[in-house]
Amino acid sequence: MSDAYSSRISGFYDRTITERLDALEANGVLTAEARAWLEAGGGLSLEVADMLVENVIAIHGLPLGVALNFCINGRDRVVPMAVEEPSVVAAASNAARMVRASGGFHGEATANVMTAQVQFDDVPDAAGAPARVLPHRERLLARGDGAIPRMTERGFGCRDLEVRVLDEALGVVTVHVHVDVGDAMGANTVDTVAEALAPALQELLGGTLGLRILTNLSVRRMVRVRCLVDQESLGGSAVADGIARASRFAELDVYRAVTHNKGFMNGLDAAAVALGQDWRGLEAGAHAWASLSGRYRPLSVWRRTADGLEGSAELPLAVGTVGGSTRAHEGVRRAFELLGVVEARELAVILASVGLASNLAALRALACEGIQEGHMRLHARKLYQSVPPPPKGSAP
Ligand code: MEV
For ligand 1, atom 4, which residue shows the shortest CA distance?
263
Amino acid (1-letter code) at residue 33:
E
> Ligand 1: distance of its center to the CA of 266 in Å?
8
Q: Does residue 382 have an active-site annotation?
A: no
pLDDT, residue 42, reads: 87
Task: Using pLDDT thresholds of 50, 70 and 90, give the confidence band for residue 394.
Answer: very low
For ligand 1, atom 6, which residue shows the shortest CA distance?
263
**Per annotation, catalytic residue among 106, 136, 176, 262:** 262
pLDDT, residue 380, reads: 52
Pocket test for ligand 1, best of 251, 259, 375, 379 (most atoms within 8 A of CB): 259
pLDDT, residue 379, reads: 55
pLDDT, residue 385, reads: 47
Domain-by-domain residue ranges, the chain?
A: 12-109+221-386, 113-214
CATH number 3.40.50.720 is the correct assignment for the domain at 113-214: no
The span from the CA of 379 to the CA of 152, in Å, is: 49
For the cut 50, the answer to whether the pLDDT of residue 310 exceeds it is yes
Q: What percent of the chain has pLDDT over 70?
A: 93
Q: What is the pTM of this model?
A: 0.94
Q: Over the stretch 78-113, which tens digit does the pLDDT of each residue have?
A: 999 999 999 999 999 999 999 999 999 999 999 999
> Ligand 1: distance of its center to the CA of 259 in Å?
6
C-beta neighbour count of 43 within 10 angstroms: 19
Q: Over the stretch 213-266, which tens digit does the pLDDT of each residue have?
A: 999 999 999 999 999 999 999 999 999 999 999 999 999 999 999 999 999 999
The span from the CA of 306 to the CA of 228, in Å, is: 11
**Per annotation, catalytic residue among 178, 260, 329, 375:** 375
Instruction: For the chain, give the mean pLDDT.
Output: 93
Which H or E run contains 175? strand 172-180
For ligand 1, atom 10, which residue shows the shortest CA distance?
362
> Ligand 1: distance of its center to the CA of 233 in Å?
21
pLDDT, residue 381, reads: 47
pLDDT, residue 328, reads: 83
Least Cα distance to 87 among 366, 338, 279, 283 occurs for 366
pLDDT, residue 382, reads: 54
pLDDT, residue 392, reads: 52
pLDDT, residue 270, reads: 98
**Range with lowest mean pLDDT among 48-62, 242-256, 320-334, 347-361:** 320-334
CB 265, CB 342: distance < 8 Å: no
Same topology, domains 12-109+221-386 and 113-214? Answer is no
The span from the CA of 78 to the CA of 1, in Å, is: 11
Sign of CA dihedral 367, 370, 371, 376: negative
**Per annotation, catalytic residue among 76, 183, 269, 278:** 278
Q: What percent of the chain has pLDDT over 90?
A: 88
Average pLDDT score over residue span 111-129: 98
C-beta neighbour count of 10 within 10 angstroms: 10
Q: Does residue 278 have an active-site annotation?
A: yes
Task: Using pLDDT thresholds of 50, 70 and 90, give the confidence band for residue 151.
Answer: very high
Task: Using pLDDT thresholds of 50, 70 and 90, give the confidence band for residue 377.
Answer: low
Q: Does residue 375 have an active-site annotation?
A: yes
Q: Over the stretch 170-220, which tens digit does the pLDDT of each residue have?
A: 999 999 999 999 999 999 999 999 999 999 999 999 999 999 999 999 999
Task: Using pLDDT thresholds of 50, 70 and 90, give the confidence band for residue 375.
Answer: low
> Ligand 1: distance of its center to the CA of 301 in Å?
15
The span from the CA of 268 to the CA of 347, in Å, is: 11
**Residues with Cβ within 8 Å of residue 95, at least 6 apart in sequence:** 357, 358, 360, 361, 364
Average pLDDT score over residue span 360-370: 91
For the cut 70, the answer to whether the pLDDT of residue 352 exceeds it is yes
266 vs 368, which has greater pLDDT? 266
Domain 12-109+221-386 falls in which CATH fold?
A: 3.90.770
Which H or E run contains 153? helix 149-153
The span from the CA of 344 to the CA of 350, in Å, is: 10
DSSP-assigned letters across all residues of 196-226: HHHHHHHHHH-SEEEEEEE-S--TTSEEEEE
**Residues with Cβ within 8 Å of residue 304, at least 6 apart in sequence:** 240, 241, 244
